[in-house]
Amino acid sequence: MKNIKNIIVTNNKYVYEKYKDDFEIFFDENFSYLDVLEYVRNRVHEGHKLMTHPLSGSVKPNETIYKTIIISHKKEVLDFDSLKLIEESITTAKKFIANKPTPNWPESILDDFRVIDLSLIDNAIDKII
């Protein structure tokens, strides 16, 4: 049975594979870290609320290409706290990426980053539901 309270937005295939049967998921493997943040910002403008922090974890936006964020399924009036947080997160991510672009990591390192991102969202899901 799918969790209809929340939507997972991700560019991480590990997150998609693990949660595709339990959550509504927006998954695009071609999205960059910044693309995920901007997609979430657009959903916040539509009335969705952030359920997880956009910059959760200790991996910097210019170190990994993977990002997973949970937003509310239900659309309500614009949540200004969510909007402020996602806009600030986009600004921060852009600063990190401009200072030092994300390296062209080998597949073994990308795999490590997928596992880290999955672990972060696993912990968040345990707290949300």
Radius of gyration of the chain (CA): 14
Residue 127 or residue 54, greater confidence:
54
pLDDT tens-digit map of 71-95: 999 999 999 999 999 999 999 999 9
| pLDDT number for residue 27 | 98
| pLDDT number for residue 4 | 78
The pTM of the full predicted model, rounded to 2 decimals, is 0.95
| pLDDT number for residue 11 | 98
Closest alpha carbon to 46 in 82, 70, 75, 25: 75
Close Cβ partners of 78 (under 8 Å, ≥ 6 residues apart): 44, 45, 47
pLDDT tens-digit map of 14-71: 999 999 999 999 999 999 999 999 999 999 999 999 999 999 988 999 999 999 999 9
According to DSSP H, which parts of the chain are helical?
13-19, 33-45, 80-99, 107-128
Name the CA dihedral angle for 120, 89, 71, 10, rounded to a multiple of 10 degrees: -60
